[in-house]
């Protein structure tokens, strides 16, 4: 089984020393750098480059520079997706965003998880676990979402939160660790 196949199954895999994965990361990071250097006035070029970077997109998406990801092909974004500046998505596993997702500045989504055992870490081993974000979700600035997290529809994640556990539909959640503080009644 290849390291990429192990990664897709959520197993420990070698991310740091596997040549195939290294080459894929270099390729997308070059594309991200190109995207980050494009002028805002080159809207069609920016949109086309995003579609080249990301695995699946709908029509209306906007990511303000700077934007960085590990592979790109593991990222799916829905309609009316907006991210403010300095978005980081470490997409070793699938990261899926629903429709009408708004992300504040300096937010990060991490699917990579590293072993506690330093001997395994030093061998370059890690595992990856998907992140799923529902529809109509708003992230305040400086939010970090950790591996394996699901965030429900219509929820709000407050600025500065570190999301360590799943968040249900229709809530406001804040803090480190992020906790539900309020239900949203529609």
What is the distance between the alpha carbons of residues 27 and 173, in angstroms, rounded to a whole number?
Answer: 36
83, two tokens: 């991210």
Instruction: Delimit the domains of the chain by residue range.
Output: 3-183
Q: What is the pLDDT of residues 131-160, one digit of tens each?
A: 999 999 999 999 999 999 999 999 999 999
Strand segments, DSSP code E, in 13-103 are 13-14, 56-57, 61-63, 67-69, 75-77, 81-83, 87-90, 95-97, 102-103
15, two tokens: 């991310």
* Cβ neighbours, 10 Å, residue 144: 19
**Is residue 75 within 8 Å of residue 112, measured between CB atoms?**
no
Q: What is the pLDDT of residues 46-57, one digit of tens each?
A: 999 999 999 999
pLDDT of the chain along its 186 residues, tens only? 999 999 999 999 998 889 999 999 999 999 999 999 999 888 888 999 999 999 999 989 999 999 999 999 999 999 999 999 999 999 999 999 999 999 999 999 999 999 999 999 998 899 999 999 999 999 999 999 999 999 999 999 999 999 999 999 999 999 999 999 999 976
Which one of the listed residues 85, 100, 114, 129 is annotated catalytic?
114
What's residue 12's pLDDT? Answer: 95
Class of domain 3-183: mainly beta
What's residue 103's pLDDT? Answer: 98
What is the distance between the alpha carbons of residues 102 and 162, in angstroms, rounded to a whole number?
Answer: 17
149, two tokens: 């997290």
| 137 backbone dihedrals φ, ψ, rounded to 5° | -100, 140
Pure H helices in the chain? 3-8, 19-37, 43-53, 118-122
What is the distance between the alpha carbons of residues 146 and 178, in angstroms, rounded to a whole number?
Answer: 11
Q: Does residue 114 carry a catalytic annotation? A: yes
């Amino acid at each position: 089984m290849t390291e990429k196949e192990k990664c897709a199954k959520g197993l420990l895999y070698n991310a740091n020393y596997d040549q195939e994965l290294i080459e894929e990361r270099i390729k997308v990071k070059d594309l991200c750098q190109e995207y980050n250097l494009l002028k805002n006035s080159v809207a069609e070029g920016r949109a086309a480059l995003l579609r080249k970077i990301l695995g699946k997109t709908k029509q209306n998406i906007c990511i303000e520079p700077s934007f960085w990801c590990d592979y790109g092909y593991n990222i799916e974004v829905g309609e009316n997706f907006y991210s403010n500046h300095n978005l980081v998505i470490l997409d070793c596993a699938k990261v899926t965003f629903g429709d009408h997702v708004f992300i504040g500045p300096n937010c990060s989504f991490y699917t990579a998880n590293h072993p506690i055992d330093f001997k395994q870490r030093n061998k370059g081993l890690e595992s990856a676990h998907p992140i799923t974000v529902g529809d109509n979700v708003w992230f305040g600035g400086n939010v970090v979402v950790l591996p394996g997290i699901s965030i429900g529809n219509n929820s709000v994640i407050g600025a500065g939160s570190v999301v360590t556990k799943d968040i249900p539909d229709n809530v406001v959640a804040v803090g480190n660790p992020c906790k539900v503080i309020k239900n949203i009644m529609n």
